[in-house]
Amino acid sequence: MPDNTTVGGVSVDTRHWIGGERVASVETFADSSPIDGSVLGEISRGTPKEVAAAVAAAKAAFPAWAGTARAERARVLHAIADGVEKRLEELATVETHDNGALLRSHRRGVMPRVAHNFRFFADWLVKLDHEDFETRGHTNHVSWDPAGPSVLITPWNAPLMLATWKVAPALAAGNTVILKPAEWSPLTASLLADIAAEAGLPAGVLNVVQGYGAEIGDALTSHPDVRRISFTGSVPTAQRIAASAAANLTPLSLELGGKSPLLVFADADLDLAVDLAVEQYDNAGQVCLAATRILVEEAVAHEFTRRFVEKASRLQQGDPRDEATDIGPNIHPRQLEKIDGFVRRAVEAGARAVIGGHRKEGQYYAPTLLTDVAEDSEIVQEEVFGPVLTLQTFADEGEAIRLANDTRFGLAATVATGDPERAERVTAQLVAGTVWVNCFFVRDLQAPFGGSRHSGVGREGGTWSFDFYCDVKNTVTAPKGWADHG
């Protein structure tokens, strides 16, 4: 079996990366491109044996990396960022072939953000601090101790961006890592291993295990030597991971799905609101934060829909390598089937497709807007993860808030209004980890990020990431000569 493959002219190793060496499994799995269904490579299909080796390597490398001075850890992270920037074009090309997202987004937004993930957490590490404080003359000193080997499990919709959003803070914190990328988009994680090694990251500090979650997930998440598990993916998988981690009470961070609302009030700048709504088709709708439920005040619903249809119908769907393309393919035939199933059942239940509502040739789904959807229907309550939006109307602010909060999710919400006081009142009542007012997707890495309810457990970003990846310790020291027996 070949050890590597060439994708868009870039050579990618298809084996695991364990303890600073390439390791092959006996079996492989085929990784195919959403662009044309072609097989990109045969990837090592991990088993519990490789998981055990990766955890052992991470455990062995932990004391030295945890004991490395903060400034030196930060230097290595910046060197990884340099490597990402140097190979940005290669990373963008491979990612586009592997997950079908736009090449121009990978070049201009996603891969620069990957480099920024490393730079940001390197810099945050250096200034991470907590002022000492006093208790009856005693000093309290808070420190962030590295926690240990960390398992990071990631999805396919933004593979390297979401992986490094976890890898960077985990490494910065002084932890060692076992990264398990999604089986539908395994390639850039392998390139990251090369980049990290070239940057001087010691062997065993970052390990990459490829394979099917269903086959190796349990070995990863129930391992007694694993000190942290950070997962981004679907709710059912999170439930399995939580059950598996319970055996060792391993701390978990869960970033899960969403069914986020976009609330459009009659006092909003309607063109802006339409722009925000159409933006939800980005990445062919495969964005956890996407505001897929559009809630519009009755008075402007007709005009909003008219302008939305006009704008959405100008979107170009096609090859994600083409500069003019706005919407690429969906990740996998199974995902396409899932999206189509949701829409067919919605239409059977009485929904009307204002635009779209059908598959297109190849692995594409037409951008879809559904109206006449019942509040308790599947299409309003469940995450589709495709280019499918629903539109509901509301009579007043109270109804808008009630509809917005009426799902089991709570990842994000977007509010379009021209009234700052309304914005304040409404946002205060929304259940969501992130709320955007008159904007969307503005993300600062120092901000807390995560979801409420079934959208997740915990927050990451800035100090929140270090809180998670570290064993935070408070040391209380008595003043010299003090004997406190109280």
Binding site for ligand NAD (CB under 6 A): 153-157, 162, 180, 182-183, 213-214, 217, 221, 232-234, 237, 240-241, 255-258, 288, 383, 385, 411, 451, 456
**Which lies closer to ligand NAD via its Cβ, residue 162 or residue 173?**
162
**Which is nearest to 206 in space by CA: 14, 19, 468, 12?**
19
User: Between 83 and 213, whose beta carbon lies closer to ligand NAD?
Assistant: 213
- Tell me the C-alpha to C-alpha distance, in Å, between residue 130 and each of 124, 133, 144: 13, 9, 10
Catalytic residues: 255
Nearer to ligand NAD, 94 or 226 (CB): 226
Choose between 176 and 221: whose C-beta lies nearer to ligand NAD. Answer: 221
Nearer to ligand NAD, 83 or 211 (CB): 211
Amino acid at 246: A
* Minimum distance, C-beta of residue 9 to ligand NAD, in the bound complex (Å): 27
**SS3 state at 368:** strand
Q: SS3 helix, strand, coil % of the chain, rounded to 5?
A: 40, 20, 35
Number of H helices, E strands in the chain: 16, 24
Q: Least separation, in Å, of the C-beta of 158 and ligand NAD?
A: 6
CB 428, min distance to ligand NAD, A? 22
Please report the sign of the dihedral spanned by the C-alpha atoms of residue 146, residue 149, residue 150, residue 156.
positive
Q: To the nearest 10°, report the CA torsion of 167, 464, 422, 264.
A: 20
The contacts found for 446-453 with CB under 8 angstroms, 24 or more apart, are 446/120, 446/124, 449/255, 450/253, 450/255, 451/255, 451/256, 451/258, 451/409, 451/410, 451/411, 451/412, 452/410, 452/411, 453/408, 453/409, 453/410
Bridge partners of residue 248, in order along the sequence: none
Least separation in angstroms between CB 38 and ligand NAD:
21
CB of residue 258 to ligand NAD, shortest distance in Å:
6
What's the rounded Cα separation, in Å, for the pair 265 and 406? Answer: 18
Least Å from the CB of residue 4 to ligand NAD: 21
The pairs formed by 67-72 with CB atoms below 8 angstroms and a separation of 24 or more are 67/174, 68/174, 70/125, 70/126, 70/128, 71/126
Residues 228/150, Cβ–Cβ less than 8 Å: yes
For ligand NAD, the closer CB: 12 or 384: 384
